[in-house]
Amino acid sequence: RALRESLRIDTLATINIDNDYGVGTVGALTGAFSSSGGTIALANTFAPGETDFRSILLKLRARPELPVYLAVYPTDGALLLKQARELGLTNRFIASVAIIGGREFFEVAGDAAEGLLVASTPPSTGSTFAERYAARFFEDTATTEIYTY
């Protein structure tokens, strides 16, 4: 709903890992997006462990205006974004919060992470948890820790 209402996206491409997380996330997104009048123009799935996303990304070259929703894990997402930028793609990438997963995402993605929009629901509570987490682990928490710790 936020993609249609807040970002005013009418047409979308999806790329997801072929496992319960990726298929489930894109399935839920596709259902909600389509029921609100949106269209999925391209849907692409890749096998777990895949490291070369160029064949999927080349399908986007002719559609630079098409936003791309990613249901991927940190390493997959970082490599995918790097390869997209290496190919000169200018599409807007949007991902579920699972893409971040920690510092390794940013270390691998580097500047290719610039402009990535991350979709998440903010925690209604968690400031006490965040303070305790930071005190124990000597780093700030991310949304994923608040929901999964």
pLDDT of 147 strictly over 50: no
The residue with tokens 């630079």 is: 64
Say which range, 84-93, 104-113, 118-127, 131-140, has the weakest mean pLDDT. 118-127
Q: Where are the alpha helices (DSSP H) in 6-142?
A: 20-35, 54-58, 74-86, 103-109, 127-137
pLDDT of 103 strictly over 60: yes
**CB-based contact 11:66 (threshold 8 Å):** yes
Question: Which bin fits 91, alpha (ψ -120 to 50), beta or left (φ > 0)?
Answer: beta
What confidence score (pLDDT) does residue 68 get?
Answer: 97
Residue 67 to residue 100: CA distance in whole angstroms: 19
The closest of 30, 113, 12, 116 to 66, measured between CA atoms, is 12
Residue type, 58: L
**CB-based contact 84:112 (threshold 8 Å):** yes
Residue type, 34: S
